[in-house]
Amino acid sequence: MAPVHGTTPGRRVVAVAASAAVAAALGSASPAAADDEYQVLVVGETLGFRHSHIDETTRAIIDLGHEHGFTVDVWDPPNTSGGWWGPGSPGQPELSLGSTPFTSAEDLSRYETIVFVSPVDNTNSLDPAVPRLLDDDELAAFQGYIRSGGGFVGLHAATDTLHTVPWYTELVGGGARFVNHPQQQTATMRVESPAHPSMEGVPLVWERWDEWYNYSLNPRGDVHVLMTLDESTYSGGTMGDDHPIAWCHNFEGGRSWYQGAGHTEASYADPVFLDVVLGGIEWTAGVTSGGGNCVTWAEVDAIVDGVPADTTRDRVTLGRVGSRLDAAQAAADAGERGKALGQLRAAERLAGTLTADDADELVAKIRDLSDWQRGLADAGL
């Protein structure tokens, strides 16, 4: 792929000291192999309130890349878009690319994943006249990138940007947008998907100090919930007994992962929290897999509905697969892991007898459901 035309060559950060160098080698759009160096784009550009953790997060991700085999480009230019929060954004000019990387899906394909580090843009008024983080052309490039299999990581206030773009809201959180938060305080996060690579080594019950977001809706069902927030352990939660705080999903051919904690600078010096962030980067980049791969029941149901049933036998079999999946979901919702796994095994066997070309994808996704439920069973959840 040729370099981006009409832009200043970017600087690729290779260490936390981060002296900039001209970007020279461009990668492919396919997921990175575990032993191959790959590229990540960190987006910290701010058109609204600027979170103080952005600089610390950027440096932490640069360090992670140095240790784990990826290089980092940064898009965080200074600007004068001031408001109630102050006189514009200082950005990180010593690290930032010289011009927007969101030029085309092809140009973005050099990155295995793109990390949004709280890039607030002041669109929470839902006023379409307010300037967005990405303009129409940049948004089209980003959409093309995701639909071509790109990865996305959202940290903390990644749910507080592009509020006027429903597509982005679906990408980052299944429709969930930031609404408000109480004062910073200690609360308990609970792991819900312990077998996912980004949850490896995370305490199942994790007490920590942070800024805890309330969202416009509960995204469960549209996303694969990784962690919930226990509202009984702090003051100011508004979502009730089921308060997802971290999640992931497969979206329009791409991979999306979000962690709602991480407001404090101290988060990015915490080895456990950094392992979580690294896990999100590596899963969305295709370096790691497993634990259900962020599958959802709705995702598998949609695949069942999309498998062509050109023969009577396949039509009958698909009906039986759907029934088994419904039974598995009901058992899973009731916490009956063994029963859910039994129904999933039966569904996988039935799907394996389909003659349609799309049957292999269905079988693979049912296996993901089994891996997810098995991980829960192994953790005693």
* Confidence label for 352 from pLDDT (cuts 50, 70 and 90): very high
Q: Residue 109: what are its φ and ψ, rounded to 5°?
A: -65, -10
* Confidence label for 24 from pLDDT (cuts 50, 70 and 90): very low
Across the range 93-100, mean pLDDT stands at: 97
pLDDT of 36 reads 76
pLDDT of 75 reads 98
Structural domains of the chain, ranges and CATH numbers in brackets = 12-284 (3.40.50.880), 297-378 (no CATH)
Across the range 213-234, mean pLDDT stands at: 98
User: Residues 129, 133, 137, CA angle at the centre, nearest 5°?
Assistant: 85
Q: Which of 295, 302, 100 is nearest to 196 (CA)?
A: 295
Q: Residue 315: what are its φ and ψ, rounded to 5°?
A: -60, -45
pLDDT of 29 reads 43
- Summarised one tens digit per residue, pLDDT across range 131-142 is 999 999 999 999
pLDDT of 35 reads 63
Report the mean per-residue pLDDT for the chain.
91
The pair of structure tokens assigned to 303 is 């695949």
Q: How far is CA 49 from CA 52, 127, 132, 173, 339, in A?
A: 9, 16, 13, 20, 48
Across the range 195-213, mean pLDDT stands at: 98
Q: Which of 13-22, 28-37, 326-335 has the highest mean pLDDT?
A: 326-335
Across the range 85-110, mean pLDDT stands at: 96
Rounded to whole angstroms, the Cα distance separating 132 from 139 reads 10
Across the range 233-249, mean pLDDT stands at: 98
pLDDT of 15 reads 31
Q: Whole-prediction pTM value?
A: 0.91
| 7 close to 96: Cβ distance less than 8 angstroms | no
pLDDT of 342 reads 98
pLDDT above 80 for 3: no
- Summarised one tens digit per residue, pLDDT across range 167-187 is 999 999 999 999 999 999 999
